[in-house]
Structure 1
Amino acid sequence: MIVIPYLTVLTTYFSYGLLFVFSQIRDLFQKITGWFNSNNLQGYTPICLGLEDFYLRRLYLRIQDYFGRPTSSAPNTWFDVIERYSNDNNKTLKRTTKISNCLNLGSYNYLGFAASDEYCTPRVVESLKRYSLSTCSRRVDGGTTVLHNELEKYVANFVRKPATIVFGMGYVTNSAILPAMIGKGGLIVSDSLNHSSIVNGAQGSRATIRVFQHNWPSHLEEDLREKIAEGQARTHRPWKKIIVIVDRIYSMEGELCKLLEIIAICKKYKVVQDVS
């Protein structure tokens, strides 16, 4: 049961390696014959250079029909995809009249609101007519509407807190809030597979960052015990603040965080826990 995933990974990388080698050989022959350079415009800098150009021509073109496919329906769980064909080895793709009904495995439509809904859709249309699609401004510069304030009140009541702040983007939430929560003299203990928004926010905070093994509460406890005992670097003073940061759901891996165990450790060592 353990061998099969490793064999799958090995065969995948082996196939990719073969394709890479043969593509390099093809490029070499094109350079020798001069056909490769004949298509370059004299006096103009190439848009793509080096491996990026190689990847687009030799690897991406083979499978580009599987990326950015045109759709003809709402991006629901199942949606209609327009089939395409190519007469020049996938350099250009032309649409057909054929439509395939496909399972959507690449959507951020977690709550299912992207498709038509009897309750939500009419209210969304009404809100768009009244408030427009966007305020075209940051909230601090005049982009706050009545809806923002109402939503923050509802969220605060739901989580039983005095107030909340609503961000329009999850990436901005983590990367902007962390530098405001902790700074120099603080310690951030972060899961090794946390989202890049958390990584960027932690790096921008100027706090000391310690990474523990993914979803491993015992390793988290070892790190906390060690860093609390050591204190800050050079001065060995106690940390001004310690924050443990994890993802509730690791979307890239499809794993759930061992949240209850991690919260218990945070309470044991009296540190702040942040669940993204």
Structure 2
Amino acid sequence: MITIPYLTALTTYFSYGLLFAFGQFRDFFRKIFDWWHASNLEGYAPICLGLEDFYTRRLYLRIQDCFGRPIASAPDGWFDVVERYSNDNNKTLKRTDKISRCLNLGSYNYLGFTAADEYCTPRVIDSLCRFSASTCSTRVEGGTTTLHKELEECVANFVGKPAAVVFGMGYVTNSAILPVIIGKGGLIISDSLNHNSIVNGARGSGATIRVFQHNTPSHLEKVLREQIADGQPRTHRPWKKIIVVVEGIYSMEGELCKLPEIVAICKKYKAYVYLDEGSQLWGCGKNWKRRM
């Protein structure tokens, strides 16, 4: 039985394929028309080439009104969208004075802080006046403020750890932390659908990387057992450290990680679990608190 997410994906790919086929069909007749009405202009190179030009003309321009929509209010849960129109088949869009009230379903504003809030807004304004919008420097070179230290102490107390470190963005967190906690001689076993930030962090660590089937604890156990038995490549020495990397909620699929089963397997084989929770990073596994 086909579920709704898979049905949606199939219809999306079918629609995209249909647009692609009709676009190629129209381009074929366009070439014939241009052959009969050859241009005398010389010395002008096309701005875009190949599929890039095709995508812009035949696909993106038809639906560009879906992207970059101007708004006339704070990007809250509900916001005002400025309506636009086109007289040249969506090549250019012109704004109108009409405004539509729309539900915001495509934003990172999870906690609603982009809109005016009687508690948060005054404190944000006060922080901007005292610290500015950016430190214009990395933290190691002078970009650390008292706010960073207060936040790290708060996070450490909340999770019950002696210390915590705060990064400016989630992508950098994964790509910078993994090379620190594991290196050459270590093994990273990554979920096949992990975020690209995890992939880049794993590659930059120098550790050996193996992949297990998405959210499948049984396959994870099989990979763990095989890798522990084989050891490091060529030398077959035991691994210095083994880390299993998963996400709490897979951002592209919206699926929950089978964390209890994965943690149980990692404890069985004495491996670490690196859990990416989007806005938080948690370490759990065999003796994780003691070793960290």
TM-score in terms of structure 1 length? 0.93
> Could you give the per-residue CA deviations for residues 74-131 of structure 1, whole angstroms, max 9, x where no partner exists?
1111111111000000010001111111111111112221211111111001101111
User: What displacement does 1:11 show?
Assistant: 4.1
Amino acid corresponding to residue 80 of structure 2 in structure 1: D
Structure 2 stretches lacking a partner, 5+ long: 277-292
Aligned twin of 1:128? 128
Aligned twin of 1:79? 79
What SS does structure 2 have at the residue aligned with 1:82?
strand
> Could you give the per-residue CA deviations for residues 158-197 of structure 1, whole angstroms, max 9, x where no partner exists?
1111111100010000011111111111100111111110
In structure 1, how many angstroms separate the alpha carbons of the residues matched to 2:139 and 2:38?
51
Structure 1 stretches lacking a partner, 5+ long: none
Aligned twin of 2:22? 22
Aligned twin of 1:259? 259
Amino acid corresponding to residue 273 of structure 1 in structure 2: V
Cα 1:268/1:99, change in 2 over 3 Å: same
What SS does structure 1 have at the residue aligned with 2:180?
helix
In structure 2, how many angstroms separate the alpha carbons of the residues matched to 1:188 and 1:37?
58
Aligned twin of 1:47? 47
Is the aligned partner of 1:219 residue 2:219?
yes
Query: Which is further off, 124-133 or 44-53?
Result: 44-53
What SS does structure 2 have at the residue aligned with 1:34?
helix
User: What displacement does 1:44 show?
Assistant: 5.0
What SS does structure 1 have at the residue aligned with 2:63?
helix
Query: Which is further off, 85-94 or 13-22?
Result: 13-22
Mapping of residues 109-124 of structure 1, within 5 Å:
109-124=109-124
In structure 2, how many angstroms separate the alpha carbons of the residues matched to 1:69 and 1:175?
32
User: Do the aligned residues in 2 keep the contact of 1:75 with 1:114 (CA within 8 Å)?
Assistant: yes
Amino acid corresponding to residue 112 of structure 1 in structure 2: G
In structure 2, how many angstroms separate the alpha carbons of the residues matched to 1:258 and 1:88?
51
User: Do the aligned residues in 2 keep the contact of 1:31 with 1:37 (CA within 8 Å)?
Assistant: no
Aligned twin of 2:290? none
User: What displacement does 1:9 show?
Assistant: 4.3
In structure 2, how many angstroms separate the alpha carbons of the residues matched to 1:9 and 1:125?
43
Is the aligned partner of 1:138 residue 2:138?
yes
Mapping of residues 143-158 of structure 1, within 5 Å:
143-158=143-158
RMSD between superposed Cα atoms in Å: 2.0
Aligned twin of 1:197? 197
In structure 2, how many angstroms separate the alpha carbons of the residues matched to 1:176 and 1:241?
18
Mapping of residues 226-245 of structure 1, within 5 Å:
226-245=226-245
Question: How many residues are aligned here?
Answer: 275
In structure 2, how many angstroms separate the alpha carbons of the residues matched to 1:72 and 1:130?
29
Percentage of pairs with the same residue? 78
User: What displacement does 1:50 show?
Assistant: 0.9
> Could you give the per-residue CA deviations for residues 107-156 of structure 1, whole angstroms, max 9, x where no partner exists?
11122212111111110011011111111111111111111111111111
Is the aligned partner of 1:2 residue 2:2?
yes
Query: Which is further off, 51-60 or 112-121?
Result: 112-121
In structure 1, how many angstroms separate the alpha carbons of the residues matched to 2:249 and 2:14?
31
Cα 1:228/1:120, change in 2 over 3 Å: same
User: Do the aligned residues in 2 keep the contact of 1:183 with 1:207 (CA within 8 Å)?
Assistant: yes
What SS does structure 1 have at the residue aligned with 2:46?
coil
Amino acid corresponding to residue 53 of structure 1 in structure 2: D
In structure 2, how many angstroms separate the alpha carbons of the residues matched to 1:38 and 1:108?
48
User: Do the aligned residues in 2 keep the contact of 1:70 with 1:81 (CA within 8 Å)?
Assistant: yes
Amino acid corresponding to residue 98 of structure 2 in structure 1: K
Aligned twin of 2:97? 97
User: What displacement does 1:47 show?
Assistant: 3.3
